[in-house]
C-alpha cells in the first residue's frame, strides 16, 4: 500500500493507512497455499493499533463536550499502547495526560509516554479483580480527585471498536480488493479469514463488523487468547490454563471488557496460545520476514498457524490458493527491547557459520604484529574474539 503523497497537519492525521504485507516465507515454511497477510500497525505514528482508538475517543469526546481544552485532564488505565496514543494526542492538543499502568508493562512504554509529557502511575501486579489497587480502580480515584479529570475508558467506550470498524477493517478490505485487481497472484478478491489477539476486544469486534456487515458475511474471524486469560469461548478452553502467568503484554484479561463482542456470529472461533507459542512465532516474523514487531504479534501469528494446521476448516483454507488470511500485527518491537524475554529471544540459537567466520578472521587479525592494543577488545554477538 502506497502512503498518500500529502503533508499532514499533525501526527494524528497520519494514524492509519498501515500496510498489509505478504508473509510469504512463513507461509512457505508452513506449507500454506493461501495468502498469508500481516496488517502492520507498528508503522502508525505512536507505534501501535491503539493510536486509532486514542484518536477517535478524544475526537468524539471533544465533539460531545466531555473534553474541554484548558480544563480537562485525560486519565486512562491501560496496558500501555493506548496510553502512548493518548499521550501523543495530548501533546498535540494540549491536554495533560495521566496514564495508570500495571507494573508488568515494559519500561519502554512508560518512557515513551513520559517523553510525550504524560504522567505515569504504576500499579502492583498479582491483584484480585476486586482489589482497590488495580490500574482501573486507581484511575477512577484519580478522576475523582483531579479537577477536570476525564476517563475515556477504552474497556467500555464504543469508539474503541468503532475506530476499527471505520478504519482498520476498511483498510484491510480495500487492500485485498485492490490486490486482486492488480496482482498476478491468485486471490479470492475478498478477506476470507481475519486473525487477531484479544485484549480489550475492540479490534476483533470492529474488524468483524466491517468484514461481515458489508464485505464478506462468510468471513471467518479467529480470536487468539493467551493461556492464563479468561476471554476465550467456550469457557472450557480456559480451564486447563487457569492461574497461568504469561509475559506477553496487551493481551488477555480476567474478565470480559464491554468492547469485546459476545454476540453470536461475529467472532467465529477462539484459539489459545502461550508464551511458548508466541515467542517462536515472533522469531519467524523477525528473521523470516524482517518485521520489527512485538510479542502480541507473535501470539497472533501463532494462533493463525494453529488454526490453519489443527482445524478442519483451517486446513481447507490453508490448502486453497487465493484464499486471503489476514493476521493483525498490533505493535512494534520498540516497546520490548529491554525485556529479559526479548534479549533471550534475540540472542538464542546456534552460532551461525558467518559468525564463526567473523571470529576466525578477527582472531587472526588481532594476532598480526601491531594490531592488538592493551585492554582493547573486539567481540562478535557479545562474545570476545
The C-alpha cell at 299 is 501470539
Distance between CA 372 and CA 148 in Å, rounded? 64
Is-catalytic flag, 50? Answer: yes
3-state secondary structure of 319: coil
Nearest CA to 112 among 47, 59, 44? 47
Nearest CA to 308 among 187, 192, 173? 192
Distance between CA 328 and CA 202 in Å, rounded? 13
The C-alpha cell at 74 is 485525560
The C-alpha cell at 376 is 582493547
DSSP H or E stretch at residue 202 = helix 202-210
Distance between CA 261 and CA 170 in Å, rounded? 19
Please tell me which residue in 50, 55, 212, 272 is annotated as part of the active site.
50
Question: What does DSSP say about strands 379-380 and 383-384: parallel, antiparallel, or unpaired?
Answer: antiparallel
Nearest CA to 134 among 142, 126, 145, 144? 126
Distance between CA 196 and CA 34 in Å, rounded? 17
Active-site residue list: 50
Amino acid at each position: 500500500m502506497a502512503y498518500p503523497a500529502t503533508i499532514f497537519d499533525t501526527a494524528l492525521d497520519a494514524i492509519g493507512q498501515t500496510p498489509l504485507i505478504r508473509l510469504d516465507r512463513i507461509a512457505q515454511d508452513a506449507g500454506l497455499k493461501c495468502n498469508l497477510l500481516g496488517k502492520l500497525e507498528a508503522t502508525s505514528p505512536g507505534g501501535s493499533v491503539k493510536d486509532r482508538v486514542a484518536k477517535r475517543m478524544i475526537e468524539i469526546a471533544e465533539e460531545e463536550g466531555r473534553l474541554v481544552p484548558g480544563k480537562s485532564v485525560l486519565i486512562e488505565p491501560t496496558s500501555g499502547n493506548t496510553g502512548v496514543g493518548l499521550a501523543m494526542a495530548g501533546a498535540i492538543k494540549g491536554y495533560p495526560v495521566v496514564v495508570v499502568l500495571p507494573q508488568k508493562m515494559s519500561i519502554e512504554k512508560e518512557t515513551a509516554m513520559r517523553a510525550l509529557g504524560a504522567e505515569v502511575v504504576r500499579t502492583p501486579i498479582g491483584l484480585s479483580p476486586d482489589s482497590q489497587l488495580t490500574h482501573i480502580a486507581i484511575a477512577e480515584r484519580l478522576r475523582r480527585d483531579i479537577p477536570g479529570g476525564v476517563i475515556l475508558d477504552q474497556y467500555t467506550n464504543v469508539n474503541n471498536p468503532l475506530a476499527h470498524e471505520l478504519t482498520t477493517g476498511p483498510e484491510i478490505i480495500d487492500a485485498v480488493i485492490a490486490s486482486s485487481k492488480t496482482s498476478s497472484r491468485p486471490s479470492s478478491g475478498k478477506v476470507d479469514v481475519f486473525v487477531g489477539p484479544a485484549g480489550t476486544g475492540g479490534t476483533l469486534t470492529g474488524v468483524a463488523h466491517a468484514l461481515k456487515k458489508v464485505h464478506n458475511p462468510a468471513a471467518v474471524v479467529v480470536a487468539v487468547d493467551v493461556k492464563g486469560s479468561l476471554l476465550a469461548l467456550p469457557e472450557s478452553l480456559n480451564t486447563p490454563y487457569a492461574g497461568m502467568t504469561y509475559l506477553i503484554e496487551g493481551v488477555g484479561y480476567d474478565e470480559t471488557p464491554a468492547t469485546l463482542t459476545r454476540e453470536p456470529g461475529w467472532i467465529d472461533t477462539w484459539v489459545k496460545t502461550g508464551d511458548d507459542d508466541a515467542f517462536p512465532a515472533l522469531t519467524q516474523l523477525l528473521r523470516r520476514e524482517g518485521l520489527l514487531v512485538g510479542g502480541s504479534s507473535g501470539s497472533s501469528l501463532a494462533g493463525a498457524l494453529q488454526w490453519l494446521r489443527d482445524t478442519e476448516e483451517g486446513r481447507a483454507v490453508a490448502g486453497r490458493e487465493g484464499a486471503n488470511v489476514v493476521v493483525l500485527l498490533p505493535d512494534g518491537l520498540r516497546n520490548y527491547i529491554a525485556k529479559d524475554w526479548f534479549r533471550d529471544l534475540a540472542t538464542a540459537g546456534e552460532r551461525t557459520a558467518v559468525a564463526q567466520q567473523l571470529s576466525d578472521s578477527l582472531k587472526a587479525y588481532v594476532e598480526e604484529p601491531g594490531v592488538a592494543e592493551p585492554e582493547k577488545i573486539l567481540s562478535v554477538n557479545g562474545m570476545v574474539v
